Structure 1
Amino acid sequence: MAWSDEVADGDIVEHYPHGPCGCGADLGQAADLGVTARHPQIEIPLVVARRLQHHLHSVACRCGRVHTATRPAGVPAAPVSLGVNLQAWCVYLLVVHAIPVHRVAELVASLTGAEPSAGFVHALISRAAGAVASANARIRTLLTLAYVVCCDETPIRVGPKKAKKYLLVACNQLLTWYMLGGRDMATFKRFVLADLAGVVVHDRYQNYDATDLGTRDHQLCVAHLLRDLEDCAETHPDVRWPRQLQMALRGLVHAANLARAQARDAIAPGTLAMFVKMFRGGVAVGLSQVKRLPGPAKTVTQPAGRVLLEVLRDRAGDVLRFAYDLRIPPTNNQAERDLRPAKTQQKISGRLRSEKATEHRYTVRGYLSTALKHGLDVMTVLRDALLGNLWMPPDPVTT
């Protein structure tokens, strides 16, 4: 923490020596020489839940009509309820930090003195998902209209012990949208891909290229390609083409990042030409050294690196698209970052019991992730959503 002299008067705690001096005099009667040392400390007040009682008064107008005060937002018509701040805390701990339901109830009780039941805490997931549903639908719509969308998927344990689902994410630097499903074509048809108008950045999973999902431009994730090339380098330690291809791709990524940092619209032509030539040369050499084996693809296993080299040859435009258009990221790292909370949740909480509750969880997670990407305070937008004051992602800025 940085030093600051800006401290409110009420936040200053004065300390004086006390007790007797060596001479026997009481230090409480000694002359004050002023402050000789300062020790700032960041502290939070103890949080104690208070019981608020809302009295709704009625008044009689001169005309005879009687008017009763409106019940405040967030106060249900129930004998006793938990306030929206406590509800937001519970949802935040559940969704953002993946804390199990019973532990959330225990944690809130320990920190505040309020004692929400596990059933109440669990029901908040559904309520929060309903509160942000319209914003979540807008996020999906905005993604289908975006110029670039990063996509990825990860296995997730949901339902019965042997059941496995996939959590899919579509995102960019401002938006995040999740969908629970499988890794099959039926799921991908319900995913954003069928409606997507822009470039999709992905890891080469075959469903992203399915023709019945429509045609669009692709950017194959360079990070995945570099890892595959590392495997080739270990499998073929005596050849140079894997390292040459890695050098070319890394050089282009660095050049693209540098151009963006310098507010330029493109990579310097000479740099671009040099690395593209290095890339194409590496692919040609690799294909000449790793020969394709004849026979049907389903029955013949090709030598290590052959299929990758054919992808680099046949889809060079999809590999190098980022180098010609700086609006396109070279990797789908954004999607992997947005999926990381799901992997963390699996490690912390294990299997999720209900598919519906899991869908609700990631509906809220996508909304909060989007709000965070817009620089908003997560607790504020969550509390406002529970009160019915839903924040909506704005229209994209066009230039």
Structure 2
Amino acid sequence: MNKKTLPPPPDFDSPEEAKDIIHFLWNKLAELEDRLNQNSRNSSVPPSQQALHNKAKNTSPNRKKSGKKPGAQPSHKGHRRLLHPIEDSASVEQYLPNKTCRCGGCVIPNRKPYKRHQVFDLPDISYTLTEHQAFMGACAWCGEKHKAQLPEYVPRSQMGPNLHSFIAIQATQHHQSIGKLQSMLKDVFQLHFSTGAISAAQGRVTAYLADTHTDIHNKVRASDLIMADETSHQRNNDKRWMWAALSKGAAFFQVNSGRNQHAAKRLLGDAISHLLVTDQYSAYKYIDKSNRQLCWAHILRNVIAIEESISPENQKIGGKLALIAHSVFRSHHRYTENKITDTLYYRRLRRLRKSWLHWLKLGSYQCSQRYRGRCRNLIADDVMVWRFMDDTNCPLTNNAAERVLRNYILMRKCCYVTRSYRGDLFRERMFSLIETAKLQQISAYKWLRKIVEYHMLKMPYKTPSFLA
């Protein structure tokens, strides 16, 4: 294999030509240095992938170390576990004091205990087995054979609703691969199932969740405010994308083959009349600017990258823009905490917006070539940058959508790729159910178990009220 070699050095015939070459190489070196210094503070690089020598610093310029030791501080109000209510399944042991005192008197115990100490434990974990036996008989006169048929409510697979739900929840919410699931069922429950049987169980759960997944999608699309984000997803050797759309009460996941406008329309619809909060990605450009708010967390990272560039011109302009962005966050937080009035809040925002545009215009022709485009794009998207000024319910960031995706990203690191289209459907439908259950503050396992049970027993399933 031939090794790659550097091209021959350029020739020059005059000092002016040499200066041009030096200037070009200097700009190229500055661009490579900026890329090398990328971290989670000034780019989209996740903290887990940045080098140890390139850790991100504090985002807030006014934040200083307190000098205190980690952990609970003196006079800190402690948090204790609340006593669990005594149910029928709980056993109560009562301990009474001695009947007589040292002086010879009779000790009368109080009606209520002075101390309640609860000990939780797990029962012996096992499984239940129901064997369904179908008999065959023959007519005593004509000899015709008759076979008994299993009732409709008997599952045709070897797994019941609870086991199906347990496997699906463990595979997604708790990031267990099929191999680990197989080992857990063997060690904890003494159940022996092949990897194919576990995969088939996941496939059946996928089919049962089809209607629920559609209901969640319709619920998200009908919301007045949506936050959207996407991350990479891989099926075998093909790179795909997991998209997430989040509303106030539901979260919808969808695997798409690309990260483009077609995928965005498949997720959000062609015509959008609600407010959408996203990053600056171009796939959302078909949406009207009046219905879209850009994420200020992404904007802050972009201007911090300009500030931390090695070029002095970039540092000055980026520093001013970062200071304005921090001021926007600080003003918004004080306003939401009712620490400043409406008049003062909007007056500050108008002043910050004017200064923001001034420094962006300077950066559009004074910054290096790498960052001029960022400044020009922010100027062109000014309506979407400050859309939150027209709606007090509009958030500054789409961090909620990123937090929803985080659970899937952790699972992706543990369980790696999917192998088929059915595997893509399993992940998108299960994570839609899990994250929606979190928003509704209900148990994802109990909800899934109810869906699986109704489908396996061939009973009509009613859509929950929060999805209707």
Distance in structure 2 (CA, Å) of the matches to 1:311 and 1:251: 24
Q: How does 1:49-128 map to 2 (within 5 A)?
A: 49-53=127-131, 71=151, 73=153, 75-77=154-156, 81-128=158-205
Cα deviations by residue, 1:89-127 (Å, 9 ceiling, x for unpaired): 101111212211121122122222222332121112221
Query: In structure 2, do the counterparts of structure 1 residues 292 and 381 end up closer, same or farther at CA, with 3 Å as the change threshold?
Result: same
TM-score (norm 2): 0.67
**Residues 41-86 of structure 1: CA deviation (Å, up to 9, x unaligned):** 22121211122346899xxxxxxxxxx999474x3246xx222111
Equivalent in the alignment of 1:321: 387
Cα deviations across residues 210-260 of structure 1 (Å, max 9, x unaligned)?
A: 3xx67761100111011112112212334542233223321343145325x
Residues in 2 aligned to 1:195 and 1:124: alpha-carbon distance in whole angstroms: 38
Q: State the aligned residue count.
A: 352
Matches within 5 A, 1:371-382: 371-382=437-448
3-state SS, counterpart of residue 409 of structure 2: helix
| 1:135-156 superposed Cα distances (whole Å, 9 cap, x missing partner) | 2112212222211111111111
Q: 1:242 corresponds to which residue?
A: 321
The equivalent of 1:171 in structure 2 is 246
The 1:247–1:148 alpha-carbon spacing in structure 2 relative to 1, beyond 3 Å, is: same
Conserved? CA contact 1:241–1:286, under 8 Å: no
Q: Distance in 2 between matches of 1:272 and 1:111?
A: 60
Residue of 161, 171, 190 corresponding to 2:266: 190
Structure number with larger C-alpha Rg:
2
Counterpart for residue 75 of structure 2: none
Contact 2:289 2:384 in 1 (8 A): no
The CA RMSD over aligned residues, in Å, is: 3.4
Q: TM-score, normalised by structure 1?
A: 0.77
Alpha-carbon distance in 1 for matches of 2:273, 2:466 = 16
| 1:48 and 2:123 aligned | no
CA distance in 2, matches of 1:166, 1:125: 21
Q: Which residue of 1 aligns with 2:210?
A: 133
Matched, 1:228 2:302: yes
2:49 corresponding residue in structure 1: none
Aligned to 1:344: 410
Correspondent of 1:202 among 260, 278, 301: 278
What is the letter of the counterpart of residue 123 of structure 2? P
Counterparts of 1:142-153 in structure 2, within 5 Å, are 142-153=219-230
> How far is the alpha carbon of 1:284 from its aligned partner?
0.3
Name the amino acid aligned to 2:254.
Answer: M
Report the Cα distance in structure 2 between the residues aligned to 1:251 and 1:36, rounded to whole angstroms. 48
Counterpart contact for 2:360–2:376, Cα < 8 Å: no
Give unpaired runs (5+ residues) of structure 2. Answer: 1-79, 97-107, 136-147, 455-459
Aligned CA distance change for structure 1 residues 287 and 83 (closer, same or farther; 3 Å): same
- 2:229 alignment partner, SS class: strand
Separation in 1 of the partners of 2:305 and 2:269? 30
- Matched to 2:421, the amino acid is E
Q: Secondary structure at the residue paired with 1:164?
A: strand
Greater relative contact order (CA < 8 Å, ≥ 6 in sequence): 1
**What corresponds to 2:396 in structure 1?**
330
Out of 337, 342, 363, which is 2:429 matched to? Answer: 363
* One-letter identity of the residue aligned with 1:43: D
- Counterpart-to-counterpart distance in 1, 2:201 and 2:84: 42
Per-residue deviation, 1:326:
2.1
Structure 1 unaligned runs (5+)?
A: 17-32, 58-67, 294-300
Per the TM alignment, residue 384 of structure 1 is displaced from its structure 2 partner at its CA by: 0.5
Match of 1:2?
Answer: 81
Give the whole-Å Cα distance in 2 for the aligned partners of 1:38 and 1:144: 49
Which residue, out of 302, 318, 322, partners 2:369?
302
| SS at structure 2 position matched to 1:156 | strand
Alpha-carbon separation, structure 1, partners of 2:306 and 2:462: 48
